[in-house]
Structure 1
Amino acid sequence: MKKNNLLAFALIGALSVSLFACTKKDAVETTNNNEISESTLAKISSLGFSTENARKVEGGYLVEGDILLTEANFASTAKGNNLNIAETEQYRTTNLVTNLPRVITVSVTNLPQVYSDAVDEMISRYNAQGLSLTFQRATTGTVGNIDVFGFNEGPSGGYITLGSAGFPTSSGQPFNQIKMNTNVNAYGTNPNLQYLASVLQHEVGHCIGFRHTDYMNRAYSCGGRRANEGASDVGAIRIPGTPSKADAESFMLACSNGGNRTFNANDLIALNYLY
C-alpha cells in the first residue's frame, strides 16, 4: 500500500499531508528496475501491472506499491479476463477464495502488540459484514492461513512500502502472507491502531482477490502522471454493481490517505457479490 506526501522529500517523516493505500510517496516518483531483467519486466507487463517502480523482493516482485507477484503468477495460464479500461470500479482477480463458507485463520509473528491489536480490528471489520468468508485469529503458536509478519525497510526512490500481499492461488486458497513495515518512517514511533488496521484491511483485500480500485489510473489516488496498464492476464474483472466513476473512499484505492479508511457502500457491494 502507498501513501502520498505532497511535500518535498526533505520534509518527510510527518504523516499528516497525504493522499491514499500501501506505500507512502514522499517525493517525485522514479523508476527503479535495475534489479529486474527485461524479460521479467515483460512478464509483469503481460500480467497487466505497471513496471514503474517494480522491484525484486524476497519471494518475487513488488509492483503497484504493495502487490507481490510470484513465479507462480508468471507461470499461470491467461484466462482472457481483461480490464475494462475506461472506468473506475472495484476489480477482482481471476482466482478467488473457494470452498465457501469458510473461516480464514490469521496469525501474527514477531510484531509489536499494536500490530496484533490492529489485526483483531481488521478481523472485526470483515466479520461485521456477514460474509460467507470470515476470519479468526489462529491458535497461539500456530501459523494461520494468512500470517502477518514484519520487515524493516526505509524510504527508497521517493516511496516507503507500508505493507504488501499477493493474490489467491489457482486452488482457491487466500494468499498466505502479509508483510508490514516496522520502519519508523512508515508509521512513526507510535503507530496508530486504526491506520494499521486500514492497511491490513487493504492487504487482506488483495489476499482474497481484490485489485486496486483505481487500477486503470493510479494517478487518481497517488498523484503523478496517468498510468493505464491495459489488459491483465492475472485478472482485472469488473465486479457488477460497482460504479463507473471515481470512488474517492474505497478501501482498495492504490495509495493511502494516511488515516482510517474502512469499507464504503461500493466496497460492501463488491464484498457481498464475491463472498
Structure 2
Amino acid sequence: MKKQILAVITCLAAGAMISSCNKNNTQQESQPNPVSDQVLAQIKANGFSTDNVRKTEDGYLVEGDILLTADQLNEKVSTPTLRIANNEQYRTNQLVTALPRVIKVKVSNLGTAFIAGADTAIARYNRLGLRITFQRITSGTANITIQGFNQGPSGGYITLGSSGFPTSSGSPYGTIKMNTNAAAYGSNPNVLYVGSVIQHEIGHCIGMRHTDYMDRSYSCGGSAVNEGASTVGAVQIPGTPSTPDANSWMLACSNGGNRTFNANDVIALNYLYH
C-alpha cells in the first residue's frame, strides 16, 4: 500500500504477487528502471498496471504493494475472463483453500506498534466469522510472517507495506513487509494506522485485488489508468457495487489513517470465505 504526501497536506494514496501501501512526498527521485519491456508486457497481460514497476529481490512490485514473482508471470492460468472494471470488489484467480483453516501470523523483529497493529488486523478479520481465521504466534512455523524493511520516499510516494497473492497450492502468501522508515509512519506509529495497512496486506495474501485497480487515480491521484482486458488476475465478486466505494479497505492508496471493512468489503469476504 502507498501513501502520497504533499509539502504541507497529507493526501489520499496507497500500496506472490506482492502488494504495498505508499505515501506521496514532494521529494522526487529518479531511478533507473531495470524492468525489461518483456516483463512489462507480461505484467500488463496479467491485468496489472505497468506504471512505476520496481524490481525487487523477490520479483516485481506492481500497483504500489503487490509482488509478482517471475514464476507467477510465466504461469498459464485458465480462469474466468477479467471483466473491465468499474469499482467492484475483485479477487485473484487463486484463493486460500483447505477450509476451515487457521492462518498463523508471526511478527518478526518489529516494534510494539507493529505487534499491536497485527493484533488489531487479526481481530477485525476474526470478528467476521469466516472459514479462515487468524492467530498470532510467537514461536513455531507461521503461514504469514510480518517483517520490516527500511525505504524512504521515491518518485513522490513511500511504500507503507507490501505483500502477495495466494499460491497455486491454495496457501496464503507468506510474507508481509512493513516499512520502518520514519517517513512512513513517523517516530511513534499510530497502532490503528499500522493495523489498517496490515489488514490491507492480509487482504492481498488471501486473494483480494485493489478495489480501484482499474483506476488508481481514485485513491492515489494522478492520471486515470485502465489496463484493459485480460484473462487472468481479477475476477469480479458478485453482489459488490459497480460504483466507487470510497471507504473500502482494499483501495490502492492509504488515506493516512484508520480504515477497516465497510459493508461491501464484508459482502466480498463472505462470498469467498463464509
Q: What is the deviation of 1:92?
A: 0.2
Report the TM-score when normalising by structure 1: 0.93
Distance 1:210 1:86 in 2: 14
Gaps of 5+ in 1: none
Cα RMSD over matched residues? 1.7
Distance 1:182 1:233, change over 3 A: farther
Q: What is the deviation of 1:156?
A: 1.1
Q: What is the deviation of 1:222?
A: 0.6
Partner-residue secondary structure (3-state), 1:165: strand
Residue pair 1:32, 1:52 contacting (<8 A) in 2 also: no
Gaps of 5+ in 2: 15-20
Q: What is the deviation of 1:31?
A: 8.4
Question: Equivalent residue for 2:17?
Answer: none
Distance 1:86 1:202, change over 3 A: closer
Match of 1:18 among 11, 14, 21: 11
The 5-angstrom pairing of residues 37-186 of structure 1 reads: 37-138=36-137, 140-186=138-184
Q: What is the deviation of 1:85?
A: 1.5
Q: What is the deviation of 1:83?
A: 2.9
Q: CA deviation digits over 1:44-68, x for unaligned, max 9?
A: 1111111110010121110000000
Distance 2:208 2:228 in 1: 17
Report the TM-score when normalising by structure 2: 0.93
Distance 1:266 1:62 in 2: 27
Question: Equivalent residue for 1:3?
Answer: 3
Residue pair 1:49, 1:232 contacting (<8 A) in 2 also: no
Q: Which moved more, 1:40-49 or 1:250-259?
A: 40-49
Distance 1:24 1:215, change over 3 A: same
Question: Equivalent residue for 1:266?
Answer: 264
Residue pair 1:96, 1:168 contacting (<8 A) in 2 also: yes
Q: Partner letter of residue 173 of structure 1?
A: S
Partner-residue secondary structure (3-state), 2:249: coil
Aligned length: 267
